[in-house]
Structure 1
Amino acid sequence: MADLSINFAGIKAPNPFWLASAPPTDKAYNVIRAFEAGWGGVVWKTLGEDPAPVNVSSRYSAHYGKNREVMGFNNIELITDRSLEINLREITQVKKDWPDRAMIVSMMYPCEEESWAKVLPLVEATGADAIELNFGCPHGMPERGMGAAVGQVPEYVEMVTRWCKKYCSLPVIVKLTPNITDVRLPARAALNGGADAVSLINTINSITSLDLDNMVARPIVGGRSTHGGYCGSAVKPIALNMVAEIARDPATHGLPISGIGGISNWRDAAEFIALGSGSVQVCTAAMLHGFRIVEQMKDGLSRWMDEKGYASIEDFRGKAVANTTDWKYLDMNYQVIAQIDQDKCIQCGRCYIACEDTSHQSISQLIADNGARKYEVIKEECVGCNLCEITCPVEHCITMVPQASDKPYMNWTQDPRNPRAVAA
């Protein structure tokens, strides 16, 4: 049986699955239920100055897929709306009762050194394992000079991180905003400030949908609305890319990463870990399906690790990073061609329509006298773009087959078609 336990930046947990700082971690009642369900840790919902912020009603909206599947989730809720005293008391008790679980406290305070100097000793006294600096919240708090307003300025990230290392002996995790051009810059700043780890991504600025009858976006608050933080499975590709960018950046190589963004099952978690994450944080999936989803996550990850021969999380953490590179270093001589398995083909024609209308006209449609259709790839026209494989509704019906070649590896920096090519 695979060992799922982790030691993330000095923070020990029985498994890598943590609940992210969000509504599910707002109070002891929720956190205890999460621990009873088997979560390896939680990031307590973000603490802030007293008096606590006041939230609005309503707070959530969604981007739906087929059959009302929630693809993306929009949230305009702020940080904790409970007092600092209540939160600290509950954190202390929960950590005392569950000493083997990771307890990370999310924090958001103004860019004033005295504010951090005052509160950090109080948080450390709870017995928590670490703090997470919320530099990513994209709504409400940036208007007050916090959240993403800090995370978008690397100098501020480094400054506040340095204060936290000065006034606190706990590991400091810096939570990064995705609402930025290059996520590597704040990650480097966090490391320069002494951060023990980073977590990402926080939510993305979004408006999920509109009520066209009343001409207002959702969620609706008294006939008006605002942009919120987007999360859920739809943001996973963005999150994976940003995690990979930090993992393969020479300036931040080796910096522990807690992966966040659309993690809904064990496979999602494995992908984040393969790109360098030492722990993974989940929010939306728990809000949609309840805390017990962690049972399937743990079981699925453990079974897959056993199948692959990975005894521990560290055995495959970061294994995909070396295979992630810049476009200019991809092999220009590598070629694949689509192949249709006629036994699996249901003759729906989606591959033909997609290729004929929007791609390279490399699939032929053959219609027999009796009206039966057959689709074949025109190999000399196929560029291996994968569109037909993606549009096909039958799994493994269309595959991309590598073509034999006697040409050596050649990237764009070496390609003679590149006017700035260099000698191989």
Structure 2
Amino acid sequence: MADLSIDFCGIKSPNPFWLASAPPTDKAYNVVRAFEAGWGGVVWKTLGEDPPAVNVSSRYSALHGKNREVIGFNNIELITDRSLEINLREITAVKKAWPDRALVVSMMLPCEEAPWREILPLVEATGADGIELNFGCPHGMPERGMGAAVGQQPDLIEQVTRWCKTYTRLPVIVKLTPNITDVRAPARAALAGGADAVSLINTINSITHLDLDRMVAFPAVGNASTHGGYCGTAVKPIALNMVAEIARDPMTKGLPISGIGGIGNWRDAAEFIALGAGSVQVCTAAMLHGFRIVEEMKDGLSRWMDSKGYDNIAAFSRKAVPNTTDWKYLDMNYQVIAHIDQDKCIQCGRCHVACEDTSHQAIARLVDGNARKYEVIEPECVGCNLCEITCPVEGCITMVPQQTGKPYMNWTQDPRNPRAEVTLDEA
């Protein structure tokens, strides 16, 4: 059996699956149930100053797919609405009862040194394993000069991180906002401030849908609403990209990363780890399906690692990073062509319609009496993958690599590029 245990910036846990700072980690009752279910760690819901935040009703909305599947989840809930004293007492008790699990405390305070100096020692005294600085919350708290309002300003990230490293011996994880043009800048600032790690992504500014009778967005609070934080399956591609950007940035490539965003199964987790994450945090999937989902996550990841010969998480961590590059370095001479497996084809015609209407007219529709058949017109196929994506039968359409006889050539070397940096011979 593969070893799922991790040591993330000095924080040990029996597996890489942590619950993210959110409603599922708001109190001891939830966290204990999570540990009983097998989660390797939790990030306690964000603590703030007293008096605690006051939340509104309602708080959640969702984007649904077919059969009411939740594709994206939106919330306007703030940080903990329980007192600092109650939270600290419960954190102390939980950590004492579960010493082998990772317990990280999320924190959000004003950009003033005094509150951090006062509260950090109290958090450290609980026995917690680390702190996570919430610089990502996109609603409510930015209006108070916290959350994403800090995460969008690298100078503030560096300053607050440095304060935390001054007033606590615990590992400091900086949680980054995705509501920014280039996530590398705040990651670099966190590192400059002494951060031990970063976590990302926090939620994305969003409005999921409207009630067109009342002309108000969801979740509705009376006759008004506001943008909230978007999470769930839909944000996974954005999160993977941002994790990869930090992992392959020369200035931050060695910085530990806790991956967050749309993780709902073991495969999602493996993808985050392969692109640079040392631990993964889950929220929406647990809210929709309960804490027991971690059983499948652990079992699935372990079985996959065994099948690949990976003895531990480190064996495949960041393994996909060297294969992630800028567009200009991709091979211009590499070519694939679509192939339709006629034995699997159900003659639905989706590939033909998509290619004929919106792509390269590379799939022919052949009719012989009442029979239909679809074939790829190879000279017209550019290998865009659209037909493969639209096909409802898995494995029916595949993209077949072609032997072009041409050497690797990227765009910086391509003679068709008016600003080519070097010739092919020089490369």
Q: Report the TM-score, using the length of structure 2 for normalisation.
A: 0.99
Shift of 1:309: 0.4
Q: Distance in 2 between matches of 1:359 and 1:156?
A: 46
Q: Distance in 1 between matches of 2:53 and 2:417?
A: 56
Tell me the alpha carbon deviations over residues 385-420 of structure 1, each in whole angstroms, 9 at most, x when there is no partner: 000000000000000000002110000000000001
1:236 — aligned with what? 236
Tell me the alpha carbon deviations over residues 2-55 of structure 1, each in whole angstroms, 9 at most, x when there is no partner: 000000000000000000000000000000000000000000000001000100
1:96 — aligned with what? 96
SS of the residue corresponding to residue 380 of structure 1 reads helix
1:264 — aligned with what? 264
CA RMSD of aligned residues (A): 0.4
1:169 — aligned with what? 169
Tell me the alpha carbon deviations over residues 260-312 of structure 1, each in whole angstroms, 9 at most, x when there is no partner: 00000000000000001000000000000000000000000000000000000
1:64 — aligned with what? 64
The AA in structure 2 aligned to 1:307 is: S
SS of the residue corresponding to residue 62 of structure 1 reads strand
For structure 1, the residue ranges without an aligned partner over 5 or more in a row are none
Tell me the alpha carbon deviations over residues 303-329 of structure 1, each in whole angstroms, 9 at most, x when there is no partner: 000000000000000000000000000
**Matched residue pairs, number?**
423
Tell me the alpha carbon deviations over residues 332-379 of structure 1, each in whole angstroms, 9 at most, x when there is no partner: 00000000000000000000000000000000000112x210000000
Within 5 Å, which residues of 2 pair with 1:16-415? 16-369=16-369, 371-415=370-414
Q: Distance in 2 between matches of 1:47 and 1:413?
A: 49
SS of the residue corresponding to residue 229 of structure 2 reads strand
SS of the residue corresponding to residue 190 of structure 1 reads helix
SS of the residue corresponding to residue 365 of structure 2 reads strand
SS of the residue corresponding to residue 376 of structure 1 reads strand
Tell me the alpha carbon deviations over residues 115-149 of structure 1, each in whole angstroms, 9 at most, x when there is no partner: 10000000000000000000000000000000000
Shift of 1:223: 1.0
SS of the residue corresponding to residue 133 of structure 1 reads strand
SS of the residue corresponding to residue 239 of structure 1 reads helix
Displaced runs of 4+ in structure 1, greater than 6 A?
none
SS of the residue corresponding to residue 251 of structure 1 reads coil
Q: Distance in 1 between matches of 2:416 and 2:279?
A: 43
Shift of 1:163: 0.2
SS of the residue corresponding to residue 366 of structure 1 reads strand
Q: Distance in 1 between matches of 2:212 and 2:390?
A: 30
Q: Distance in 1 between matches of 2:224 and 2:323?
A: 47
Shift of 1:112: 0.1
Q: Distance in 2 between matches of 1:62 and 1:41?
A: 26
SS of the residue corresponding to residue 252 of structure 1 reads coil
The AA in structure 1 aligned to 2:83 is: S
Aligned residues with identical type, % of pairs: 84
Shift of 1:176: 0.1
Q: Distance in 1 between matches of 2:371 and 2:135?
A: 59
Q: Distance in 1 between matches of 2:155 and 2:65?
A: 40
Q: Distance in 1 between matches of 2:9 and 2:393?
A: 43
For structure 2, the residue ranges without an aligned partner over 5 or more in a row are none
The AA in structure 2 aligned to 1:270 is: A
Shift of 1:88: 0.2
Q: Report the TM-score, using the length of structure 1 for normalisation.
A: 1.00
